């Protein structure tokens, strides 16, 4: 077989076997060959500082030696069993101990599955069908989650807009869409529909948009008022914002949450976590056949992912880890603001020190429609220059990691300076 050496050759081959030539994730023209620490290399030999970090899981960086050692120790013992294993029980104990809402959990392989089962568990527990979701909120690829995730056609709330073909019209009737951070709207929506709503599902930080002060507290109060299950999607924020996730940082405890990304240490692992009385619906002996929520998965609780996750948790618990992560993020935020302000470029840096992005706008950003009104062309041009100067990141997020070094920050500053100058030149 001829050895393929360039990304262009790989891309041509991918077009033959993959729809659109990719996995449906990142830029299909990029083929990453290797990652080590804070860096990744593509098939053309280009080296980048990695601010994508696998869309979040690689919080410790690539190839952490302690995580690798744990994985190497497990591999000869077995890679998967479709049965209980001790490491996954230990990891479950650690996740539950760290998570304010945690009493029990059920493993799956992806965050999208965890969100799907959280919605289903809420419906089983309440006997209700309706789901409140916030416009622009990401909760995986289920039919419910694909409602008003990234609509280009803006309609009146609470009407849902499907983001994918193949979703039955009936799903739209089960979804109520609300604007994030709008106190009055969520109150009025629940006055009308509250006794029919099974759950409110929200990212505590919606993509990059922080909750307004008191907004998560309002969701908690309204959920309690109407007997609604409050679900926090912490697939991104869990073990990133703090060891106890966004619910620890913001001080608001949901009934259920979903975890993913960090808990598998770079391997496929996620979980639905929460109150024991709701999680009881996964136990047929407790709720009976009519109340039972069937769930199984070939790789759920995979032992390799479990040992990687356990070691990752151990490292994250060490003194100063979250302080350091936030310091790294703040330095990147500060250098970004300095360089853009030097050219009087209107912008907002939106998010948290552990996860943020530049939005080219003159207005504050509080919901999805504010992001949609921003200057997307400037954003694309800015990110293009960053890539050319060796920064590997998503078009919509910057993920700092604990592997970032002083040399990385120096190069990052130079890249940001170049990108700001490029934008200023028009």
Exposure class string for 186-213: b at 16+ Cβ within 10 A, else e: beebbeebbeebbbbbbbbbbbbbbbee
Is residue 417 within 8 A of residue 65, CB to CB? The reply is no
24: helix, strand or coil? coil
User: CA distances (Å), 284 to each of 41, 104, 272, in order?
Assistant: 48, 15, 17
Is residue 150 within 8 A of residue 163, CB to CB? The reply is yes
Is residue 305 within 8 A of residue 265, CB to CB? The reply is yes
What's the rounded Cα separation, in Å, for the pair 292 and 207? Answer: 32
Chain Cα centroid distance, residue 18: 25
Q: Which residues contact 378 (CB under 8 A, 6 or more apart)?
A: 345, 360, 423
What torsion, rounded to 10 degrees, do the Cα atoms 336, 339, 343, 344 define? 40
Computed on alpha carbons and rounded to an integer, the radius of gyration of the chain in Å comes to 22
Q: Which residues contact 390 (CB under 8 A, 6 or more apart)?
A: 46, 47, 48, 49, 411, 415
What torsion, rounded to 10 degrees, do the Cα atoms 66, 69, 75, 81 define? -30
Question: What count of residues does the chain have?
Answer: 426
Q: Which residues contact 170 (CB under 8 A, 6 or more apart)?
A: none
The dihedral built from the CA positions of residue 401, 406, 411 and 416, taken in this order, carries a sign that is positive
To which H or E segment does residue 35 belong? Answer: strand 32-36
Catalytic residues: 138, 233, 261
What's the rounded Cα separation, in Å, for the pair 110 and 131? Answer: 21
């Amino acid at each position: 077989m001829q050895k393929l050496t360039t990304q262009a050759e790989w891309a041509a081959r991918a077009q033959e076997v993959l729809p659109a030539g990719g996995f449906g994730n990142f830029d299909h023209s990029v083929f990453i060959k290797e990652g080590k620490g804070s860096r990744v290399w593509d098939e053309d030999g280009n080296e980048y500082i990695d601010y994508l970090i696998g869309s979040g899981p690689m919080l410790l960086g690539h190839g952490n030696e302690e995580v690798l050692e744990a994985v190497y120790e497990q591999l000869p013992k077995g890679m998967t069993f479709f049965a209980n294993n001790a490491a996954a029980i230990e990891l479950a104990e650690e996740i539950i101990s760290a998570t304010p809402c945690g009493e029990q959990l059920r493993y799956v392989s992806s965050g999208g599955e965890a969100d799907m089962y959280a919605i289903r568990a809420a419906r089983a527990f309440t006997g209700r069908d309706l789901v409140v979701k916030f416009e622009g909120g990401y909760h995986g690829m289920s039919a419910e989650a694909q409602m008003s995730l990234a609509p280009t056609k803006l309609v009146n709330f609470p009407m849902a807009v499907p983001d994918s073909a193949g979703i039955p019209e009936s799903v739209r009737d089960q979804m109520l869409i609300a604007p994030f951070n709008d106190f009055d709207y969520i109150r009025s929506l629940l006055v009308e529909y509250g006794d029919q709503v099974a759950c409110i599902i929200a990212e505590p930080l919606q993509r990059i948009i922080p909750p307004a002060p008191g907004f998560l507290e309002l969701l908690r109060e309204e959920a309690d008022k109407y007997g609604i299950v409050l679900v926090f999607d912490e697939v991104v924020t869990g073990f990133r914002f703090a060891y106890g996730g966004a619910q620890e940082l913001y001080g608001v405890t949901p009934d259920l949450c979903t975890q993913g990304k960090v808990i598998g240490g770079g391997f496929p692992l996620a979980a639905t976590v929460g109150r024991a009385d709701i999680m009881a619906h996964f136990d047929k002996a407790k709720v009976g056949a009519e109340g039972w929520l069937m769930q199984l998965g070939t790789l759920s609780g995979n032992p390799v992912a479990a040992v990687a996750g356990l070691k990752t948790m151990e490292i994250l618990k060490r003194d100063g880890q979250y302080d350091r992560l936030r310091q790294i993020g703040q330095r990147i935020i500060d250098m970004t603001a300095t360089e853009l302000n030097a050219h009087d470029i209107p912008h907002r840096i939106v998010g948290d020190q552990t996860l943020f992005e530049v939005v080219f706008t003159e207005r504050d950003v509080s919901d999805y429609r504010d992001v949609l009104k921003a200057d997307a062309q400037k954003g694309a041009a800015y990110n293009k220059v960053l890539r050319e100067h060796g920064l590997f990141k998503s078009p919509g997020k910057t993920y700092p990691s604990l592997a970032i070094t002083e040399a990385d920050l120096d190069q990052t500053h130079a890249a940001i300076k170049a990108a700001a100058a490029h934008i200023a030149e028009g």
